[in-house]
Amino acid sequence: MAKYSTEFKMKVVKEYLETNISYKNLTYKYSIPNKSIIITWVNAYKTQGYEGLKVKRKNTQYTLEFKLNVVNLYLRGEMSYQSLANELKINNPSIIVRWVNAFREKDIEGLKPKKRGRTSKMPKFRKNLKDTKVERNSLTQAQLKEKIKQLEEKNYWLQLENDVIKKR
């Protein structure tokens, strides 16, 4: 669905409210794909005013408790999706539809925020770091000196080998 400017939405809503043009005729006139879009705009304007038509630049994060309360209100049969959206100043009633469906499928787990993005391909080395720390701490000073001596000797022989290869 295309994004429409707030001014354009306001123009369409005003035209609907001030004239006798139907939703269907407005969709043809302004090349809007579906009359339900205009119905949503009119409803948002009637309940929230100009603020209801504004394009939000940032997604609103809703708490788990808020979502659960909204779902409970709907499931008790007290309010419809649209009336709930109007009452709670949620611009899009389809958000409530998604919450209710997620709740029906997975209970409260369906309402919890999901991790977004790609999973990391990098291995986690936390355990390895802890093991090396423990290993390092468990060695005595004499053992450490002996280990350093062995490594220095190994390094010396590897450098000699490397020099021979370079001369060839």
Q: What pLDDT, in 10s, does the model give residues 41-74?
A: 888 888 888 877 777 767 778 888 888 888 888 8
pLDDT at 115: 80
Distance, CA of 123 to CA of 121 (rounded, Å):
6
Higher pLDDT, 24 or 136: 24
- Decide: residue 163, CB within 10 A, 0-12 exposed, 13-18 middle, 19+ buried: exposed
Is residue 156 over pLDDT 80? yes
Residue ranges making up the domain that contains 107: 59-114
Non-local CB neighbours of 26 within 8 Å, separated by 6+ positions: 12, 15, 16, 32, 35, 38
47 and 8 inside one domain: yes
Distance, CA of 104 to CA of 50 (rounded, Å):
34
Model confidence at 155, pLDDT cuts 50, 70, 90, reads: very high
* Residue 154 included in any domain: yes
Is residue 127 over pLDDT 60? no
4 and 32 inside one domain: yes
pTM of the complete model: 0.53
51 and 6 inside one domain: yes
